[in-house]
Amino acid sequence: MHRVLVANRGEIALRVIRACRELELETVAVYSSADETALHVRKADAAICIGKPAARQSYLNHDALIDAARRSGADAVHPGYGFLSENAEFARRCEAEGLVWVGPSAAAIEKMGDKAAARRLAEAAEVPVVPGTHGTVTPEQAVSAGVRIGYPVMIKAAGGGGGRGIRVAHGAEELEGGAQQAAREAEAAFGNRALYLERLIEAPRHVEVQVLADGHGNAIHLYERECSLQRRRQKLLEESPSPALEPSTRAAMAASAVRLAEAAGYVNAGTVEFLLDDAGGFYFIEMNTRIQVEHPVTEMITGVDLVKEQLVIAAGEPMTIAQADVSQRGAAIEFRITAENPDADFQPSPGRIDGLELPGGPGVRVDTALYDGYSVPPFYDSLVAKLIVWGRDRAEAIARGRRALEEFVIGGIHTTVPFHRRMLADDGFCRGEYHTDYLAMSA
């Protein structure tokens, strides 16, 4: 590997470019016509326009990306997160073109991307799963499956992600209608109307485990991230360690995640996601076959550069760390800063940045591609920055987060900075007593 095409935009593209530079790898940025002035375009060694603003005509355009790799002499592709990062067809296309895919194989993406198949694999690896169907069901088969599982149940898209294609049913009538709606939504979003059912665990915690595996038989975990603070199943804030885990549960959950990665023959970075019930039981829900938005939380508590490890593994080398090298040090919290107005039902707020002041000081990290005068385009995800703070313990991390959020100024647009300030004044959050339904129940 000598030159990496970064098939993404915004802060994650910048993050990959920086990791490549430290490994003395050249980088090629791609951009839509709406991103001509974007910071990742300036920071890469080369940059190629791949199309019009709409993602399907640029960042989701397989042909344009492959052509950019050919024209630029890139020999590897890093997809970041979102866009094509979990698209097995694109990963296979890159492999066929002789490009190194910085991520798991297309086969692994397919295996773990099919939620029903991943569930069966987890069961075979003796990883706890939520009671549910053992395979996919049609909307017509859902009602009889619901009777066997017991209500309430969650209807999920087998090929889905990001909270889409999900419905909750408390009885047969709700299940029948919800399954039809979920199938239509799944077909529109993922081209796959297959469903599976799981018993609904009410007010659970959402806890995920970061794993790394290389092509030399090594697989490790880098502990967990608590991701329970969500709005409409979209994560808003993540932290580690989870305030909900006992040491024995933490160890069992981490071991389960590694066991699943090994069973899947997984290579590169991945995240195994679990639900945690109020009795301390944990259940596998899915595996994300890419780097996560919240990966800096893990980097802050372990000192491991996950993106550099991705690149090293993709180059065919053993990862640079062993399980014995990994420990949790202190506590870290990530605040997702989006261009949305939290006081107007989180309405999008694109526009020109008029005044930007980033927080600093010990234990403070900001991942962003913003600069003063930059115009946030309306075409893509609203994430504009990630504020990550570290403390010797959770109390210090919260205090540092308060201070950093007070310093954070993004003028010209609405952002979720005020929302996060309010969360750090919330007694339930500060006690660590929250769950995936916390915001909905307190609204």
Catalytic residues: 290
> Cα(318)–Cα(22) distance, rounded to whole angstroms?
18
436 neighbors 206 (Cβ within 8 angstroms) = yes
Q: What is the dihedral of CA 393, 394, 400, 404, to 10 degrees?
A: 140
144 Cβ contact partners less than 8 Å away, ≥ 6 residues apart: none
Eight-state DSSP code of residue 275:
E
141 Cβ contact partners less than 8 Å away, ≥ 6 residues apart: none
273 neighbors 286 (Cβ within 8 angstroms) = yes
Decide: helix, strand or coil at residue 173.
Answer: helix
- Give pairs for 43-49: CB < 8 Å, separation 24+: 43/14, 43/17, 43/18, 44/6, 44/17, 45/3, 46/72, 48/72
Q: Minimal CA–CA distance to 432: which of 152, 241, 194?
A: 241
Quickly list DSSP for 236-271: EEEEES-TT--HHHHHHHHHHHHHHHHHTT--EEEE
273 neighbors 198 (Cβ within 8 angstroms) = no
289 Cβ contact partners less than 8 Å away, ≥ 6 residues apart: 85, 86, 103, 104, 108, 109, 112, 113, 266, 270
